[in-house]
Amino acid sequence: MTDAERKLWSVICANKLEGYHFTRQKIIGNYIVDFYCYKAKLVIEVDGSQHYTDKGLGKDKIRDKFLQDNGLKVLRFNDYDVLTNLEGVVYSILQNLCSI
């Protein structure tokens, strides 16, 4: 795990997100997602710099479409936001969980 993934996982695995259970490194189709909540059908991705190249953005678009076509919601956060604004990232996740 990256430092950002480890930091977010420390909150998610401590079951601090309204009781929603997440798994890490979940295989869905041909993809491995960073974090997945079965109950909420929510995927959380923590993206490093490689995701912001033309190639990375293209791959993520295809991946997100596949996940969405399979009834999943995808939230993406960049490493910097997780490392510097964890509270805001968690708030955004909680908003999405509460709107289900």
**Domain contains 100:** no
Contact indicator for 46, 83 with CB cutoff of 8 Å: no
In a 10 Å sphere around its CB, with 0-12 CB exposed, 13-18 middle and 19+ buried, how is residue 13 labelled?
middle
Q: Residue 15: which domain range?
A: 3-94
**Domain contains 20:** yes
**Domain contains 15:** yes
For residue 1, what pLDDT is reported? Answer: 85
What's the CATH code of the domain at 19? 3.40.960.10
- For 37, the token pair is 């909540």
**Domain contains 56:** yes
**Domain contains 65:** yes
For residue 100, what pLDDT is reported? Answer: 65
* 3-class SS of residue 27: strand
pLDDT in tens, 16-61: 788 899 999 999 999 999 999 999 999 999 987 565 577 778 989 9
pLDDT in tens, 64-97: 999 999 999 999 999 999 999 999 999 999 999 9
**Domain contains 99:** no
Residue 75 bridge partners (DSSP): 44
Number of compact structural domains in the chain: 1
